[in-house]
């Protein structure tokens, strides 16, 4: 699958991979900074942004999509930075492009299986809007607020609502969400891997540390206190500093 992407800057390539319901713009605060000294590649994963849609959505096919893009762009000595679902895609790519990847950073995600509960309410509301052909932005916002979705997440979701349609594939994400939550244990990858954990998030818990080190023995885990799952947006400067330190900039 030919993915939509954005290139900026010159130098060693850094590939940025967003989370579920997102787009290549979601990590722009990081890419904009790194584009000063690196070549940045921001990617719309399948079923998101302006990339093609598909009924299939698991980490193997998502990683294969990105691997195809990296091959087309002739990227070598890459650094991968992914948030949430995009972090899992990056971790999976360690098995497909091991020789071409130098380092991987996974933001608030671990190589473990998760459960549907975290986004169940969002998927319910999105599916309801899709099924009932609700395209009025104010009505969608009201439904989300009534469902208890907080304002920050509503604003994040609505960034992908353009011209009365969702840029992400609601039906496919809902149908394939068990695959998005899932994880198949991979062979140990020995290169440097950074895991950035939001201090207020439940996505990387102490219980996940063993799975991290089993699969990524050279991992480093950093905690950003006071941040939730979208740690890169909530504490952008701290995340940038952690990444710069880790990369030796």
Task: Decide if 229 is catalytic.
Answer: yes
Task: Tell me how far apart the alpha carbons of residues 106 and 82 are, in angstroms, rounded to a whole number.
Answer: 5
Per the listing, tokens 């895991």 go with 195
* 13, 78 contact by CB (below 8 A): yes
Distance CA 240, CA 221 (A): 15
Residue whose tokens read 């809007």: 129
- The yes-or-no answer on residue 232 being catalytic is no
Among candidate residues 23, 84, 94, 201, the one labeled active-site is 84
C-alpha–C-alpha distance, residues 249 and 244, integer Å: 5
Phi, psi of 224, rounded to the nearest 5 degrees: -105, 105
d(CA 24, CA 18): 6
- Among all residues, which ones are annotated catalytic? 84, 229
């Amino acid at each position: 699958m030919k993915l939509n992407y954005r290139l900026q800057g010159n130098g060693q390539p850094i590939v940025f991979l967003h989370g579920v319901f997102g787009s290549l713009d979601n990590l722009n605060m990081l890419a904009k900074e790194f584009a000063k000294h690196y070549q940045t590649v921001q990617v719309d994963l399948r079923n998101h942004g302006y990339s093609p849609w598909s009924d299939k959505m698991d980490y193997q096919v998502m990683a294969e999509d990105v691997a195809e893009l990296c091959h087309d762009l002739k990227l070598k000595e890459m650094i991968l930075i992914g948030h949430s679902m995009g972090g899992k895609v990056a971790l999976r790519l360690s098995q497909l492009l091991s020789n071409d990847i130098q380092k991987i950073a996974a933001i608030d995600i671990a190589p473990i299986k998760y459960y549907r509960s975290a986004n169940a309410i969002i998927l319910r509301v999105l599916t309801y809007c899709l099924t009932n052909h609700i395209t009025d932005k104010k009505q969608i916002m009201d439904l989300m607020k009534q469902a208890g979705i907080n304002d920050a997440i509503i604003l994040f979701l609505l960034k992908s609502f353009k011209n009365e349609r969702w840029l992400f594939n609601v039906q496919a994400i809902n149908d394939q969400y068990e695959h998005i939550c899932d994880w198949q244990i991979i062979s140990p990858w020995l290169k440097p891997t950074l895991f950035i954990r939001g201090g207020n998030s439940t996505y990387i818990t102490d219980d996940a540390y063993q799975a991290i080190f089993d699969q990524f023995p050279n991992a480093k885990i950093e905690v950003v206190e006071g941040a939730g799952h979208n740690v890169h947006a909530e504490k952008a400067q701290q995340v940038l500093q952690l990444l710069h330190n880790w990369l030796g900039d």
